[in-house]
Amino acid sequence: MLVFALAVATTSPSTASRTLRIRGADISFTLQEEAINQPVSDNGREAPVEQILKDNGANFVRLRLWVNPLRGTSDLNSALTLARRAQAAGLRLLVDFHYSDTWADRTSQQPPAAWQGMSYGELLSTVESYTRESVAAFAKQGTPADIVQIGNEVTRGMLWPYGQVTLPDDENWVGLAGLINAGANGARAGNPGRHPLIMVHSDTGGDRDASIHFYDQLQRHGVGFDLIGLTYYPFWNGSLADLERNLRDLAYRFGKDIIIAETAYPWTLSSSGGAPSVVSTMQALPDAAQYPPTPHGQAKFFAALNRVLREVPDGRGAGYFIWEPGWLPGVGADAAKGNTHNNLTLFDWQGQGLPALDAFKPTGTDG
């Protein structure tokens, strides 16, 4: 098993972490942004997004992986390219397996077209071999995954219907557990000399009861994993106080390191590129009085999030990944949807870095 700083916490329950161990970003749209000649810069200096993040203190990137998507949209070749660039910049790697040809989240977990019609047994074998071969591809090119995320926001399951948790008559935890374990086994086999850590990701950042129920069931059904991954967008998942309560109780109950796998905060309530933003009102932000949707308010939010994680008991708050900080107007989520997150970036619409790039410092900033 790969051992590094986030894997084991030995501090006492009352001791906070001095620095945040993981400060990362999901940069999966990068090649698509560059294809439309959308540069990014910081303090007037234009550079690749991964280098700007590194220069501001980031130490990880997260890359999503779809099975057979449109070419150049989160396919394996694109992820391998970004992994090489991330390593060259001095960044470590988390690979986010969606096990779909497109977006997988709490609302949709559609199997890849090539996997549909398989039996459950065939699906288990396919998940294991696909994960093994993909992880091996990263290792073969010298950019091994430090963390592998088995499924994306799998609170309601993955690869529906076999791994769907909420069914008309019951909760199918056995089906989900088998699929996660198949993926985890494949990830470990893909790099036997340097096993990645396994993260299971739910979308319940501010919901203590839902989080505990989910991870309780995983443990009860024999799922082997190393890291708890949570989605936390305050406009969907509640206040920082809600998150803090959840993190504390998860740390005490499960004794595992916790990562905020996705997070973002607006620097404006306006939108650009013809697509309305997912957050456009002050009322959508539970902590808007403390952290207004302005460039400096965004920076203050991430400074507070950094503190919340460093104060998780036993040092279990490992860190966070800001979701797509460079996803600027001009690249849509897919052929049918525009960019509804364009006011959640860490760059303005001209590609100039915002104060919240300080979020990647080990102790953030009080901005």
The answer to whether residue 111 scores a pLDDT higher than 70 is yes
Euclidean distance between CA atoms 302 and 299, whole angstroms: 5
Strand residue runs (E) in 178-337: 197-202, 227-231, 257-263, 317-323
Query: Mapped to the 3 state alphabet, what secondary structure does 191-217 carry?
Result: CCCCCCEEEEEECCCCCHHHHHHHHHH
Kindly report the CATH number that applies to the domain delimited by 5-360.
3.20.20.80
Residue 163's pLDDT is 97
State the pLDDT at residue 363.
Answer: 85
3, pLDDT greater than 60: no
pLDDT of 164 > 80? The answer is yes
Greater confidence (60 vs 167) lies with 60
Residue 235 three-state SS: helix
Question: Average pLDDT for residues 29-40, to the nearest whole number?
Answer: 97
Per-residue confidence at 5, pLDDT binned at 50, 70, 90?
A: very low
**Alpha carbon separation from 169 to 26, 107, 121, 164 (Å, rounded):** 37, 19, 22, 12
Banded model confidence at residue 167, pLDDT cuts 50, 70, 90: low
pLDDT at residue 6 in the model: 52
Task: Provide mean pLDDT across the span 135-155.
Answer: 98
- Binned at pLDDT 50, 70 and 90, residue 166 comes out as confident
Q: What's the confidence (pLDDT) of residue 101?
A: 98
pLDDT at 367 over 60: no
pLDDT (mean) for 59-81: 97
Angle ∠(118,119,123) on CA atoms, nearest 5: 70
Cα separations in angstroms, 311 against 99, 191, 244, 258: 34, 33, 9, 12
- Long-range pairs of 282-285 with CB within 8 A, sequence gap ≥ 24: 284/235, 285/234, 285/235
Q: Which pLDDT score is estimated for 51?
A: 98
Active site (catalytic) residues: 153, 262
Give the model confidence (pLDDT) of 303-331 as tens digits.
999 999 999 999 999 999 999 999 999 99
Helix and strand totals (H; E) in the chain: 9, 12
pTM: 0.95
Domain boundaries, the chain: 5-360
Residue 131's H or E segment, with its range, is helix 120-140
> What is the residue type of 350?
Q
> Considering only 8-12, 25-29, 189-193, which range has the smallest mean pLDDT?
8-12
User: Would you state the pLDDT for residue 198?
Assistant: 98
Alpha-carbon span 163 to 175, nearest angstrom:
5
pLDDT reading at 11 higher than 50? no
Residue 28 to residue 95: CA distance in whole angstroms: 10
Q: What is the pLDDT of residues 334-362, one digit of tens each?
A: 988 899 999 999 999 999 999 999 999 99
- Would you state the structure tokens that stand for residue 280, as one six-digit string? 């456009």
Is 339 exposed, middle or buried, given 0-12, 13-18 or 19+ CB atoms closer than 10 A? buried
At residue 13, the pLDDT reads 44
- H or E element: which one contains 95? strand 92-97
Q: What is the pLDDT of residues 293-304, one digit of tens each?
A: 999 999 999 999
Q: Helix 240-254 crosses helix 295-310 at what angle (to 10 degrees)?
A: 20
pLDDT at residue 9 above 50?
Answer: no
The set of residues, in sequence order, having a beta carbon less than 8 Å from that of 5 and lying 6+ positions away, is 21
How confident is the model at residue 287, as a pLDDT? 98
